């Protein structure tokens, strides 16, 4: 089997692969280790595409396994804890039984060790903090289990804050800021070394994090609102705030957050992705832009298809005149630097 790290290795800011395995009742993660046709990521295709690792998200659908992933409404906290535990167990099963394929990482040095062993590096991320009790009494236990990144909300409200809706067009400046519990979560994450993710959070919540957190601001999988007016995308002042903090934005591959018309269509030109990268680079500089694919959680351009299409995005960057150092920065080194700062 060829090594993972041919060409430009990619560290990805966001995937929903654990969700796909959980929805398929695949407790052993066989679909990841042996491959399956209905996902964007598995170990075999990751090697082909040069995907060295990324943030593996835990997202719990509002109605559990038997409802639409995008269903609105508040999520039952006990159900969130149960589903979260099951997804953590899937990641643990893969990492424990197949360390040659994937290793759960708790920091920068773990990623380097995984890279040296030609194994994917997985950092555990919560997309929505519903599994965390409002008094934060179970946060340190999740940290012990490997949690190193949290988006306080998905696109719904919870005990910590308010997410933006998936409507189009729209502004992220909708709703109130973080709750008191949300502000305490920010402080606790800063203290523990858990990265905070702004993606899905509304503008008022972002202002609160910017005022409280001492860390660079991060949006793991978001794009430019000026090019695609989704509430999920970042406006000029948000990009400026991230830049001023020394933060980072990961390009989201979801067609609905790339296209000017907001359509969720696989028939989306890869050049649109380059236009968003150009705009992010203009706002954030070469150290502030990375990738946050949303693989296994979104409809992405057929020109990419799945993680084996990452070299085609690299080729588009080369065609656009991006140099070797910039491509390497976008593909992996910007994320690795932020992980060292944020997590250790």
Q: What's the half-sphere exposure (Cβ side, CA atoms, 13 Å) at 246?
A: 9
- Residue ranges of alpha helices (H) inside 2-138 are 17-23, 30-34, 43-49, 77-97, 108-116
Per-residue pLDDT band at 66 (split at 50, 70, 90): low
Cβ contact 312:271 at 8 Å: no
Closest CA to 333 of 294, 298, 297, 287: 287
Helix pair 180-192, 203-212: axis angle to 10 deg: 50
Does 4 have pLDDT greater than 50?
A: no
- Per-residue model confidence (pLDDT) at position 260: 98
Average pLDDT over residues 305-317: 97
pTM: 0.95
Per-residue pLDDT of 130-179, as tens digits, reads 999 999 999 999 999 999 999 999 999 999 999 999 899 999 999 999 99
Per-residue pLDDT of 272-303, as tens digits, reads 999 999 999 999 999 999 999 999 999 999 99
Is CATH 3.20.20.140 correct for 10-342? yes
Q: What is the largest CA-CA distance in the chain?
A: 51
Cβ contact 252:223 at 8 Å: yes
- Per-residue model confidence (pLDDT) at position 71: 56
- Per-residue model confidence (pLDDT) at position 3: 45
How many residues are present in the chain?
344
Task: Please report, for the chain, the start and end positions of each structural domain, with discontinuous segments joined by +.
Answer: 10-342
Closest CA to 255 of 314, 311, 302: 302
- Per-residue model confidence (pLDDT) at position 68: 53
Does 15 have pLDDT greater than 50?
A: yes
């Amino acid at each position: 089997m060829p090594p993972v790290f041919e060409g430009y290795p990619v560290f990805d800011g966001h995937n929903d692969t654990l969700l796909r395995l959980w929805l398929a009742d695949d407790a052993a993660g066989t679909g990841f280790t042996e491959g399956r046709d209905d996902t964007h990521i598995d170990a075999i295709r990751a090697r082909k595409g040069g995907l060295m690792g990324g943030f593996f998200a835990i997202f719990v659908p509002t109605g559990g396994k038997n409802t639409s992933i995008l269903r609105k409404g508040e999520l039952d906290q006990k159900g969130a804890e149960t589903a979260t535990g099951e997804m953590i167990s899937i990641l643990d099963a893969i990492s424990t039984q197949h360390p040659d394929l994937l290793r759960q990482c708790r920091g920068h040095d773990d990623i380097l060790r995984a890279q040296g062993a030609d194994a994917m590096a997985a950092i555990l991320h919560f997309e929505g903090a519903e599994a965390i009790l409002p008094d934060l009494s179970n946060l340190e236990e999740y940290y012990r289990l490997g949690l190193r990144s949290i988006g306080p909300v998905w696109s719904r409200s919870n005990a910590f804050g308010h997410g933006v809706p998936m409507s189009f067009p729209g502004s992220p400046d909708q709703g109130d800021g973080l709750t008191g519990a949300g502000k305490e979560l920010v402080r606790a994450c800063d203290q523990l070394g858990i990265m905070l993710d702004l993606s899905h959070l509304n503008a008022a919540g972002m202002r609160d994090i910017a005022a409280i957190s001492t860390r660079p601001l991060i949006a793991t999988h978001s794009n430019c609102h000026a090019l695609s007016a989704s509430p999920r995308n970042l406006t000029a002042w948000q990009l400026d705030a991230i830049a001023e903090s020394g933060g980072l934005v990961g390009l989201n591959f979801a067609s609905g957050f790339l296209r000017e018309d907001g359509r969720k269509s696989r028939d989306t030109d890869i050049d649109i992705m380059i236009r968003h990268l150009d705009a992010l680079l203009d706002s954030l500089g070469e150290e502030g832009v990375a990738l946050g694919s949303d693989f296994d959680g979104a409809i992405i351009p057929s020109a990419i298809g799945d993680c084996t299409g990452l070299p085609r995005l690299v080729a588009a960057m080369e065609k656009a005149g991006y140099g070797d150092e910039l491509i390497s920065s976008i593909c992996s080194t910007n994320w690795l630097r932020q992980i060292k700062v944020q997590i250790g």
